[in-house]
């Protein structure tokens, strides 16, 4: 395991001394991941759209798993680029027939069925004891599982099941319904509104267009009765972002630089202690802070009393 995972376990033991009963079945080996593997995982996760959902510990764990897989000698399943998007080959008008068939099969299967070697194939399970996997990563994080599977690495859950499914993510604009393959945008590239959400995407085999499957059909307009606050100046003021062009201004760059310094300092204190110097961390460990930038008034309902009490100072300045 990586030093970050060890620190997380120790932190959990300190917070939950009664619940953290960990049996010493084996002695863990602490190992640092290579810098080149960390850089590769970051680039790979950015292509799959999972980079902004992975922490520093998650990236180091994936990088160490890849290095151990290479050292084991079995590199036949490793991939340098993500897998192609899933092709949606279902013709129009046949989705209802397929759903009806699934309902019939689900109604036929009851709780009194016994799974054995005769019907194991119908449940997509494998009862064979032969398993030649030398390196595997145990995690319940879906973003980590998605990146590990697309890299060709073995993934197992806490119950011992093997994860085999892959999901690609994109973004959909709630205003103009434009679909983007990446998941790092804050504003829509077509209409410019900050109404983009993460959705699973597939590719149509006939037209080659990106198809987004989404169930949410409305935009939450809660808390939009307030007007925009007046621009304020000062050292501790946060930028009020309403358009993508504001991210190119010098004030926003200075704000991002301050957040990067704070997150870099917090990561050093968390993983390496208070006496560690900043020179011991490489530039690849700097966390991207774009996800922490609030768009507009940020999350929460400005109409609630709790939100007003928390943001009373910023409302007075406006």
CA angle 181, 185, 187 (to 5 degrees): 120
Burial class (CB in 10 A: 0-12, 13-18, 19+), 286: middle
Q: Which residue has the tokens 């759903």?
A: 99
Would you say 137 is a known binding-site residue?
Answer: no
| Residue among 250, 261, 258, 247 at smallest CA distance from 295 | 247
Q: Which two tokens stand for residue 78?
A: 């490793």
d(CA 273, CA 262) in angstroms, rounded, equals: 15
d(CA 66, CA 33) in angstroms, rounded, equals: 9
| Residue among 205, 188, 189 at smallest CA distance from 197 | 188
Burial class (CB in 10 A: 0-12, 13-18, 19+), 314: middle
Measuring CA to CA, how many Å separate 201 from each of 129, 218, 271?
Answer: 36, 19, 36
Would you say 61 is a known binding-site residue?
Answer: no
Annotated binding site: 173, 176, 188, 191
Binding residues for Zn(2+): 173, 176, 188, 191
């Amino acid at each position: 395991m990586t030093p970050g995972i060890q620190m997380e376990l120790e932190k959990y033991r300190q917070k939950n001394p009664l619940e953290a009963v960990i049996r010493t079945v084996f002695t863990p080996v602490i190992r640092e991941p290579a810098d080149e593997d960390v850089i590769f995982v970051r680039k790979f996760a950015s292509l799959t759209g999972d980079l902004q959902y992975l922490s520093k510990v998650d990236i180091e764990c994936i990088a160490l798993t890849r290095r151990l897989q290479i050292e084991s000698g079995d590199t036949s399943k490793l991939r340098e680029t993500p897998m192609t998007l899933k092709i949606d080959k279902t013709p129009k008008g046949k989705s209802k027939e397929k759903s009806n068939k699934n309902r019939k099969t689900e109604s036929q299967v009851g709780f009194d069925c016994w799974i054995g070697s005769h019907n194991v194939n119908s449940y997509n399970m494998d009862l064979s004891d032969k398993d030649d996997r030398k390196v595997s990563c145990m995690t319940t994080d879906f973003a980590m599982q998605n990146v590990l599977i697309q890299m060709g690495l073995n993934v197992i859950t806490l119950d011992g099941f093997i994860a085999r499914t892959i999901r690609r993510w994109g973004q959909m604009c709630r205003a103009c319904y434009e679909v983007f393959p990446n998941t790092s945008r804050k504003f829509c590239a077509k209409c410019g509104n900050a109404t983009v959400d993460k959705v699973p995407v597939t590719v149509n085999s006939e037209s080659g267009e990106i198809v987004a499957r989404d169930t949410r059909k409305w935009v939450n307009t809660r808390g939009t009765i307030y007007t925009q606050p007046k621009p304020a100046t000062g050292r501790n003021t946060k930028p009020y972002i309403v358009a993508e062009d504001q991210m190119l201004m010098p004030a926003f760059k200075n704000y991002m630089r301050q957040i990067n310094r704070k997150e870099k300092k917090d990561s050093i204190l968390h993983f390496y202690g208070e006496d560690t110097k900043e020179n011991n961390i490489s530039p690849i460990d700097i966390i991207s802070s774009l996800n922490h930038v609030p768009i507009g008034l940020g999350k929460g309902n400005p109409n609630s009393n709790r939100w007003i009490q928390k943001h009373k100072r910023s409302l007075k300045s406006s």
